[in-house]
Amino acid sequence: MPDIVSIKALVVLASWSVGGWLALRVWKSKDPVILKVVLTLIAALPILGPLVVYWISNFPSRLHPDVRAKYREAVNVYGRWRTVDSVGASKDFHEDSSAETRKSKAPPPTR
């Protein structure tokens, strides 16, 4: 039966080998050098180090430019269902749903 010390040594060696592979992967990335150094030091920690490095270093890739929001300031996420009347007071859309009042209102001010 294998000794408990040899099993621990095998687990640590396997962890360091995975950490070494992750360190190579981190150094091939386009991350800043300080992040590469910190992640390499964390990868040297047994067992939890490679898990943390793998979790931190898996940033999602950037979206294609066609999919990104082009006008970040113009996107109205929170007031999407609200209208603005001519004096600037906002009302809920369901309160003001008639076609006549929507036609008579001035367009919302732009920034």
The mean per-residue pLDDT over the stretch 86-97 comes to 52
Residue ranges in 29-111 assigned as alpha helix (H): 33-43, 48-57, 99-104
Greatest alpha-carbon span in the chain: 88
Q: What is the pLDDT of residues 76-85, one digit of tens each?
A: 566 555 655 5
For the whole model, what pTM was predicted?
Answer: 0.52
Q: What local confidence, expressed as pLDDT, does residue 72 receive? A: 60
Q: What local confidence, expressed as pLDDT, does residue 10 receive? A: 92
